[in-house]
Structure 1
Amino acid sequence: MKKEIGGYFELEEMAGEEYYPNLYKVNLGRTALLWLLETRQYKKIYLPVFLCRSVIDICVEHDIEVEFYHLDADLNILLEERKLPAEECLYLVSYYGQLTDEKILYCQKVYGNVIVDHTHAFFQKPLKGVDTLYSCRKFWGVSDGAYVSSDVVLSGEKQEDRSGGRMSHILGRYEENAGKYYQAMLDNAAGYEGMEIRKMSRLTGNLLKAIDYEKGKKQREENYALLSELLPSETVFNRVIPEGPFAYPYYHENGMELRRWLAGHKIFVPTYWKNMFEQCSEDSLEYQWAANILPLPCDQRYGEEEMRYMAARIREWEASAE
């Protein structure tokens, strides 16, 4: 018998169930993509220009040929419509949950081989026969974890990850402020570079069983609805109201300045796709989206009081800037 008996107590085994108990469980979204690429034996991938650096790097590092495509102002793909050969695939990103099932199925019909990135759409169920990726740490208090939905058996036996050493910033923020553990969060994220494909850690899987998913989903939807009332924002990222929204995309033409001002009031709004500032011209759609679309937090940690406070601070700054 290898199991220890006695001694001090460890974390209890949670009695609930993960939201996607039957999907492949992987350590990270980027390694989940790599596992799919290796299994499908894809040699080339079509990626949107509007994409975080980590996805691009994982492809380049593993000798996957990359070709980029742009999106128009309505998020339509600017790529020749043709059936892709067996060794090529199209990567689709659901920005702020805007990629509908109908659009996914249309792209699959046209291009054939597609991989859907639902990093911003955790609650949007995968479609049968469509390779789909989910990230856990974008929605929940875990340090890692991803899911893959695929009708192909992912190749090769993978080692199980270990997450105990990555929890300090999450546990620390539970009891203290985020600033104290901000560097630990950055160090943790930096540690993902070059990480190998592994199965989701037992710790992360256990924590995911403790979450009340329906409550979280409902709270996100209520917060999103209130922000849309208090801060109307008619952009391409607000046309579809997703289930359990990732964030509320609020547009302001001086988005970077507004972010800095909000941070001074302890409202921390991230800047996603920072690589657009180096890759794209200032007048490009991708640059403007990264700079001026503010993903306002509307997740399950907050309620009406926080949404009204955040909206009031934004209106205060806008009034002073006029």
Structure 2
Amino acid sequence: MLDNQIEIGGYFEFCLPNYEQFPYPQALNYISARSAFFDLLNQNNIKKIWMPKFICDAMIDPLLILDIEIQYYDINEEFYPVLPNHLKEDEYLLYVNYFGLCTAIQQKLINIYPNDQIIFDHSQAFFVKPFDCFATIYSLRKFLPVAEGGLLISKALTKPNYIARNVEMMIQQYHHCFVRRLSSASEAYDIFKNNEMLLNDCIPKKISGMTKEIMECLNYSSIQMQRLDNFKFLHSQLADINHLNIDIADIESPLTYPLLLKSSISKELIGNNIYTPTYWLDSLQRLDVDSFEYKLVTGITHIVCDQRYSQKQMQFQVDKIKEYFNEHRR
């Protein structure tokens, strides 16, 4: 017996094949990582949490809205958190796998602190599998061709507390993606910034059916492999000028290739149509100017290494970087 609401025939809708390769079928799906974080905190009545100073304000906002006590911590030059030896029973710890470089540190933290008091933020480490901990949070937009999406994997939350979304907003969320595909990134940039602003509301919302279909039609092993290949090539070419110590043997899920110099050269690369991202300028208000985290904001240039590109585009970036480096001798 068919559902009376089913529609048969008429014009074709947006549709993509389902290859059933999505790596986290157990995850709860949200419009963004920050809304997943909000729902986790709210439904578990969390009151105290240790947060890194080096994190975007979007992950601080849920704590402020829910009136949760925040204890900030620094990270050292190995990305290791500067924390007390023990967590109190009512305290939780959130740690970010920065740029996908910090999986080994996560294992150390799991061995030191109670698993059920640790939240791992994998927004920058999509392909790193969840640890046995209180919760793991993922962001889709930094790794996949989607305009929204956050994942939450936690035994402490089994049912999301969504509020409704309208169809117009779901379509608007993808406007910049379509404009860039049909025209250029520069033409779509203002639309992109506006759509990012729409995600600032951290109230839990469900992702759209369009995002779900894109998630299910991707070749994830190919995406991960291309990112790794690009990252390793960049490292082979740039390690000698990079002030950041990178253990390439532990890399599973690179976000970008983080090139640390005395100061960022993003503006120079953007002038050559290399659109390097910046993380996280809004954290500067929490950082000491002499801190390692301050260097991560002001000194790192995030070299693009994602799956859209091959070694040809990696070499183009390397050439531009070395050209600038040789001119200025940093």
Name the aligned partner's letter for residue 107 of structure 1.
L
1:235-254 counterparts in 2 under 5 A? 235-236=244-245, 241-254=250-263
Looking at structure 1, the residues matched to 47 and 252 of structure 2 have their Cα atoms a distance apart, in angstroms, of 34
The residue number in structure 2 matching 1:30 is 34
Say if 1:105 and 1:263 are closer, same or farther in 2 by CA, change over 3 A: closer
Cα shift at 1:261: 0.9
- 2:43 alignment partner in structure 1: 39
Distance in 2 (CA, whole Å) between partners of 1:313 and 1:191 is 34
Q: Judging changes above 3 Å, is the alpha-carbon distance between structure 1 residues 99 and 160 closer, same or farther for their aligned structure 2 residues?
A: farther
CA deviation string 1:168-223 (max 9, x = no partner): 11121122210100011100011112242123322211111111111111111111
What amino acid does structure 2 have at the position aligned with 1:2?
Q
Look up the match of 2:13: 10
Aligned match of 1:176: 183
Could you say if the C-alpha distance between residues 152 and 277 of structure 1 is closer, same or farther in structure 2, counting changes exceeding 3 Å? Answer: closer
Matched length = 318
* Distance (whole Å) between structure 2 residues aligned to residue 242 and residue 252 of structure 1: 21
Worse-superposed segment, 169-178 or 229-238: 229-238
| Counterpart Cα distance in 2 of 1:282 and 1:106 | 28
Distance 2:132 2:113 in 1: 16
1:98 maps to amino acid: L
**CA displacement, residues 113-135 of structure 1 (integer Å, 9 cap, x when unaligned):** 01000111111111234411111
Q: Percent identity?
A: 28
Tell me the TM-score normalized by structure 1. 0.92
Counterpart of 2:203 (choices 196, 218, 225) is 196
Q: CA deviation at 1:154?
A: 3.4
Q: Which residue of 2 aligns with 1:111?
A: 113
Deviation at 1:92, TM superposition (A): 0.5
RMSD: 1.9
- Between 36-45 and 111-120, the greater mean CA deviation after superposition: 36-45
5+ residue gaps, structure 1: none
2:321 is the counterpart of 1:318 = no
Distance in structure 1 (CA, Å) of the matches to 2:55 and 2:164:
28
Give the Cα–Cα distance (whole angstroms) in 2 for the partners of residues 149 and 195 of structure 1: 17
Of 1-10 and 72-81, more deviation after overlay is shown by 1-10
C-alpha contact 1:216 1:244 (8 A) present in aligned 2: no
Q: Structure 2 CA distance, aligned partners of 1:83 and 1:282?
A: 28
- What's the secondary structure of 1:311's corresponding residue? helix
Kindly indicate whether the alpha-carbon contact (under 8 Å) linking 1:118 and 1:134 is maintained by their aligned counterparts in 2: yes
Alignment equivalent of 1:282, drawn from 289, 295, 298: 289
Note closer, same or farther for the CA distance 1:266–1:241 as it changes in structure 2 (3 Å cut).
Answer: farther
Given the superposition, is the C-alpha separation of residues 155 and 38 from structure 1 closer, same or farther in structure 2, using an over 3 Å criterion?
farther
Q: Which amino acid aligns with 2:181?
A: Y
Aligned-pair distance for 1:53? 0.9
Deviation at 1:24, TM superposition (A): 1.5
Structure 1 distance, partners of 2:249, 2:99, is: 9
Question: Whole-Å Cα distance in 1 between the matches of residues 118 and 61 of structure 2?
Answer: 19
CA distance in 1, matches of 2:245, 2:151: 27
In the other structure, the counterpart of 2:84 is 80
Q: Partner amino acid for 1:5?
A: I
Compute the displacement of 1:302 (Å): 0.4
Normalising by structure 2, what TM-score? 0.90
* Distance of aligned partners of 1:40 and 1:111 in 2 relative to their CA distance in 1, 3 Å threshold: farther
Which residue, 303, 310, 316 being the options, matches 2:310? 303
Match for 1:99: what amino acid?
C
User: What displacement does 1:19 show?
Assistant: 2.3
Contact kept, 8 Å, 1:224 with 1:247, in 2: the verdict is yes
SS of alignment partner, residue 295 of structure 1: strand
How far is 1:82 from its partner?
0.9
Query: Structure 2 regions of 5+ residues with no counterpart?
Result: none
**Counterparts of 1:96 and 1:140, CA distance in 2:** 15
CA distance in 2, matches of 1:16, 1:108: 33
Q: Distance in 2 between matches of 1:25 and 1:314?
A: 38
Distance 1:129 1:261 in 2: 41
